[in-house]
Amino acid sequence: MSEVALLQLLGLGVIGVGVLILLFIQSRFPRVIGFVMIVLGIFSLVALSVPQMASLPPAEEKFDVASIKTANDMAVIGQKIFFSKGQCALCHSIGPSESARCPDLKGIGAKLSREFIYESLTQPQAYIYLDYRHEGPPKDYPARMPHINKNPIGLTNNEILSVIAFLQQMSGEPITISPSEITMPGQPVPVSATAPARGPSSPSPAKSKAKGKTKKADMGTAGLVAMVPGAIVQ
Protein backbone atom coordinates (compact mmCIF):
# COMPACT_ATOMS: atom_id res chain seq x y z
CA MET A 1 0.00 0.00 0.00
CA SER A 2 1.37 3.40 -0.95
CA GLU A 3 1.96 6.12 1.61
CA VAL A 4 -0.83 8.23 0.11
CA ALA A 5 -3.30 5.34 0.26
CA LEU A 6 -2.32 4.67 3.85
CA LEU A 7 -2.82 8.30 4.80
CA GLN A 8 -6.15 8.38 2.98
CA LEU A 9 -7.24 5.35 4.95
CA LEU A 10 -6.15 7.09 8.12
CA GLY A 11 -8.08 10.21 7.19
CA LEU A 12 -11.20 8.19 6.47
CA GLY A 13 -10.75 6.37 9.75
CA VAL A 14 -10.57 9.65 11.67
CA ILE A 15 -13.71 10.89 9.94
CA GLY A 16 -15.43 7.57 10.68
CA VAL A 17 -14.62 7.78 14.38
CA GLY A 18 -15.90 11.37 14.41
CA VAL A 19 -19.16 10.34 12.77
CA LEU A 20 -19.61 7.46 15.22
CA ILE A 21 -19.12 9.83 18.14
CA LEU A 22 -21.72 12.21 16.76
CA LEU A 23 -24.12 9.36 16.14
CA PHE A 24 -23.85 7.52 19.43
CA ILE A 25 -22.61 9.91 22.10
CA GLN A 26 -24.85 12.59 23.50
CA SER A 27 -22.42 14.26 25.87
CA ARG A 28 -21.48 17.65 24.41
CA PHE A 29 -17.72 17.73 24.80
CA PRO A 30 -17.07 14.34 23.11
CA ARG A 31 -19.41 15.48 20.34
CA VAL A 32 -17.27 18.56 19.80
CA ILE A 33 -14.20 16.31 19.66
CA GLY A 34 -15.99 14.18 17.07
CA PHE A 35 -16.78 17.29 15.05
CA VAL A 36 -13.15 18.43 15.19
CA MET A 37 -12.02 14.97 14.06
CA ILE A 38 -14.33 15.12 11.06
CA VAL A 39 -12.98 18.56 10.09
CA LEU A 40 -9.37 17.44 10.43
CA GLY A 41 -10.03 14.23 8.53
CA ILE A 42 -11.61 16.15 5.64
CA PHE A 43 -8.69 18.56 5.60
CA SER A 44 -6.24 15.67 5.40
CA LEU A 45 -8.16 14.05 2.55
CA VAL A 46 -8.27 17.32 0.60
CA ALA A 47 -4.53 17.76 1.11
CA LEU A 48 -4.01 14.24 -0.20
CA SER A 49 -6.08 14.95 -3.28
CA VAL A 50 -3.73 17.63 -4.66
CA PRO A 51 -0.49 16.69 -6.44
CA GLN A 52 1.97 15.20 -3.96
CA MET A 53 5.34 16.78 -4.59
CA ALA A 54 8.24 16.49 -2.20
CA SER A 55 11.27 18.70 -2.51
CA LEU A 56 14.43 16.64 -2.63
CA PRO A 57 17.81 18.22 -1.92
CA PRO A 58 20.25 18.53 -4.82
CA ALA A 59 23.56 16.75 -4.67
CA GLU A 60 26.07 18.76 -2.71
CA GLU A 61 28.84 20.42 -4.65
CA LYS A 62 32.27 19.37 -3.46
CA PHE A 63 35.42 21.27 -4.24
CA ASP A 64 37.45 18.53 -5.84
CA VAL A 65 41.02 19.70 -6.31
CA ALA A 66 41.87 16.68 -8.39
CA SER A 67 39.26 17.57 -10.99
CA ILE A 68 40.82 20.94 -11.82
CA LYS A 69 42.76 20.82 -15.04
CA THR A 70 42.20 24.24 -16.56
CA ALA A 71 41.42 27.78 -15.49
CA ASN A 72 37.91 27.27 -16.82
CA ASP A 73 37.43 24.38 -14.39
CA MET A 74 38.25 26.79 -11.59
CA ALA A 75 35.74 29.32 -12.90
CA VAL A 76 33.02 26.67 -13.01
CA ILE A 77 33.69 25.75 -9.38
CA GLY A 78 33.97 29.43 -8.48
CA GLN A 79 30.52 30.05 -9.90
CA LYS A 80 29.05 27.32 -7.73
CA ILE A 81 30.77 28.73 -4.66
CA PHE A 82 29.58 32.23 -5.54
CA PHE A 83 25.96 31.09 -5.38
CA SER A 84 26.26 28.65 -2.49
CA LYS A 85 28.92 28.42 0.19
CA GLY A 86 30.37 31.83 -0.53
CA GLN A 87 26.96 33.48 -0.01
CA CYS A 88 28.05 36.25 -2.41
CA ALA A 89 24.63 36.27 -4.07
CA LEU A 90 22.94 37.00 -0.77
CA CYS A 91 23.97 40.64 -1.22
CA HIS A 92 25.55 41.07 -4.65
CA SER A 93 23.88 40.76 -8.00
CA ILE A 94 25.40 40.16 -11.38
CA GLY A 95 23.66 42.77 -13.44
CA PRO A 96 21.27 45.44 -12.22
CA SER A 97 18.90 44.33 -9.48
CA GLU A 98 16.46 46.23 -7.30
CA SER A 99 16.83 43.82 -4.44
CA ALA A 100 20.62 43.64 -4.26
CA ARG A 101 21.89 45.28 -1.11
CA CYS A 102 25.51 45.62 -2.24
CA PRO A 103 27.27 46.59 -5.47
CA ASP A 104 26.47 44.94 -8.76
CA LEU A 105 29.41 42.70 -9.66
CA LYS A 106 28.81 42.62 -13.39
CA GLY A 107 32.10 43.27 -15.11
CA ILE A 108 33.96 43.49 -11.82
CA GLY A 109 36.67 41.18 -13.10
CA ALA A 110 37.49 43.70 -15.80
CA LYS A 111 37.48 46.68 -13.47
CA LEU A 112 39.61 45.27 -10.70
CA SER A 113 42.85 43.38 -10.53
CA ARG A 114 42.89 39.93 -9.00
CA GLU A 115 44.98 41.26 -6.15
CA PHE A 116 42.43 43.89 -5.30
CA ILE A 117 39.57 41.40 -5.46
CA TYR A 118 41.50 39.04 -3.26
CA GLU A 119 42.17 41.80 -0.79
CA SER A 120 38.54 42.94 -0.85
CA LEU A 121 37.43 39.42 -0.02
CA THR A 122 39.87 38.77 2.77
CA GLN A 123 40.42 42.26 4.19
CA PRO A 124 37.29 44.22 3.37
CA GLN A 125 38.21 47.03 5.73
CA ALA A 126 41.62 47.60 4.12
CA TYR A 127 40.26 50.69 2.43
CA ILE A 128 37.57 52.77 3.94
CA TYR A 129 35.35 55.30 2.32
CA LEU A 130 34.41 58.63 3.71
CA ASP A 131 30.80 59.54 4.07
CA TYR A 132 29.91 63.17 3.39
CA ARG A 133 26.15 62.78 3.62
CA HIS A 134 25.91 64.88 6.72
CA GLU A 135 27.11 68.16 8.20
CA GLY A 136 30.63 68.41 9.55
CA PRO A 137 33.70 66.37 8.83
CA PRO A 138 33.35 63.13 6.90
CA LYS A 139 33.01 59.90 8.79
CA ASP A 140 34.45 56.51 8.08
CA TYR A 141 32.09 54.36 6.10
CA PRO A 142 33.18 50.85 6.86
CA ALA A 143 32.36 48.18 4.34
CA ARG A 144 29.55 45.81 5.20
CA MET A 145 31.51 43.08 3.49
CA PRO A 146 32.51 40.24 5.84
CA HIS A 147 35.92 38.57 5.90
CA ILE A 148 35.18 35.85 3.45
CA ASN A 149 38.02 33.60 4.62
CA LYS A 150 36.83 33.60 8.22
CA ASN A 151 33.79 32.20 9.93
CA PRO A 152 30.92 31.95 9.33
CA ILE A 153 31.61 31.75 5.60
CA GLY A 154 35.19 30.57 5.83
CA LEU A 155 36.17 30.04 2.20
CA THR A 156 39.51 28.33 1.73
CA ASN A 157 42.24 29.89 -0.33
CA ASN A 158 41.46 27.54 -3.21
CA GLU A 159 37.83 28.51 -3.11
CA ILE A 160 38.61 32.22 -3.08
CA LEU A 161 40.89 31.84 -6.11
CA SER A 162 38.12 29.96 -7.89
CA VAL A 163 35.64 32.73 -7.16
CA ILE A 164 38.09 35.28 -8.58
CA ALA A 165 38.47 33.07 -11.68
CA PHE A 166 34.70 33.06 -12.05
CA LEU A 167 34.46 36.84 -11.66
CA GLN A 168 37.11 37.32 -14.33
CA GLN A 169 35.51 34.88 -16.72
CA MET A 170 32.08 36.35 -16.15
CA SER A 171 33.49 39.77 -17.04
CA GLY A 172 34.89 38.53 -20.32
CA GLU A 173 38.45 38.82 -19.11
CA PRO A 174 41.20 36.23 -19.46
CA ILE A 175 41.47 34.22 -16.24
CA THR A 176 44.72 35.09 -14.55
CA ILE A 177 44.47 32.39 -11.92
CA SER A 178 46.43 29.35 -12.84
CA PRO A 179 45.45 25.84 -11.72
CA SER A 180 49.01 25.52 -10.49
CA GLU A 181 48.15 27.97 -7.72
CA ILE A 182 45.69 25.52 -6.23
CA THR A 183 47.09 23.95 -3.11
CA MET A 184 46.71 20.25 -2.57
CA PRO A 185 45.46 18.99 0.80
CA GLY A 186 48.26 19.17 3.35
CA GLN A 187 50.30 21.48 1.19
CA PRO A 188 51.12 24.86 2.76
CA VAL A 189 49.47 27.86 1.18
CA PRO A 190 51.98 29.48 -1.16
CA VAL A 191 52.96 33.05 -0.60
CA SER A 192 51.65 33.92 -4.03
CA ALA A 193 48.11 33.11 -2.95
CA THR A 194 47.95 35.47 -0.04
CA ALA A 195 50.05 38.17 -1.68
CA PRO A 196 49.71 37.23 -5.30
CA ALA A 197 52.21 38.25 -7.88
CA ARG A 198 50.76 40.65 -10.37
CA GLY A 199 49.40 38.76 -13.32
CA PRO A 200 49.80 39.79 -16.92
CA SER A 201 46.56 41.71 -16.90
CA SER A 202 46.93 43.24 -13.49
CA PRO A 203 47.11 46.97 -13.58
CA SER A 204 50.06 48.59 -11.95
CA PRO A 205 49.37 50.93 -9.05
CA ALA A 206 49.84 53.82 -11.40
CA LYS A 207 47.22 52.38 -13.72
CA SER A 208 44.73 51.56 -11.01
CA LYS A 209 41.49 53.43 -11.01
CA ALA A 210 41.53 54.29 -7.31
CA LYS A 211 40.06 57.68 -6.67
CA GLY A 212 40.81 59.16 -3.32
CA LYS A 213 40.01 56.31 -1.01
CA THR A 214 41.50 56.59 2.42
CA LYS A 215 44.05 53.89 2.74
CA LYS A 216 43.88 52.31 6.12
CA ALA A 217 46.71 49.90 5.68
CA ASP A 218 49.20 49.10 3.02
CA MET A 219 47.42 46.20 1.43
CA GLY A 220 48.59 46.26 -2.13
CA THR A 221 47.09 47.42 -5.35
CA ALA A 222 44.05 49.59 -5.13
CA GLY A 223 41.12 49.57 -7.49
CA LEU A 224 37.77 51.26 -7.63
CA VAL A 225 34.63 49.82 -6.27
CA ALA A 226 31.85 51.66 -4.57
CA MET A 227 31.48 49.42 -1.59
CA VAL A 228 28.50 51.27 -0.26
CA PRO A 229 25.98 52.76 -2.63
CA GLY A 230 25.62 56.42 -1.99
CA ALA A 231 28.90 56.83 -0.17
CA ILE A 232 30.85 59.75 -1.58
CA VAL A 233 34.35 58.81 -2.48
CA GLN A 234 36.91 61.36 -1.47
Q: Residue numbers of the site for another protein (CB under 8 A)?
A: 3-4, 7, 10-11, 14, 28-29, 31-32, 35-37, 39-41, 43-44, 46-48, 50-58, 60, 84, 87, 89-91, 98-99, 101, 124, 142-147, 150, 152-153
Residue 64 or 98 having the CB closest to another protein: 98
Please state the φ and ψ torsions of residue 139, each to the nearest 5 degrees. Answer: -110, 160
Q: Measured between alpha carbons, how far is residue 82 from residues 77, 106, 158, 190, 217 in Å?
A: 9, 13, 13, 23, 27
Please list the residues that pair with 129 across neighbouring strands.
141
Q: Please work out, in degrees rounded to the nearest 5, the angle formed at the alpha carbon of residue 229 by the alpha carbons of 224 and 230.
A: 105
CB of 2 to another protein, least distance (A): 10
CB of 62 to another protein, least distance (A): 12
CB of 168 to another protein, least distance (A): 22
Residue 39 or 195 having the CB closest to another protein: 39
Residue 22 or 173 having the CB closest to another protein: 22
Handedness of CA 82, 88, 91, 96 (dihedral sign): negative
Inter-residue contact 77 to 162 (CB < 8 Å): yes
Buried b (16+ CB within 10 A) or exposed e, 2-26: eeeeeebeebeebbeebeebbeeee
CB of 132 to another protein, least distance (A): 22
3-class SS string, 151-171? CCCCCCHHHHHHHHHHHHHHC
Give CA–CA dist 92/4, Å, rounded: 42
Residue 40 or 232 having the CB closest to another protein: 40
CB of 94 to another protein, least distance (A): 14
CB of 142 to another protein, least distance (A): 8
Residue 11 or 203 having the CB closest to another protein: 11
CB of 174 to another protein, least distance (A): 30
Query: What is the torsion angle, in degrees rounded to the nearest 10, for the CA atoms of residue 175, residue 180, residue 184 and residue 188?
Result: -100
Residue 39 or 110 having the CB closest to another protein: 39
- CB-side neighbour CA atoms (13 Å) of 105: 24
Residue 50 or 66 having the CB closest to another protein: 50
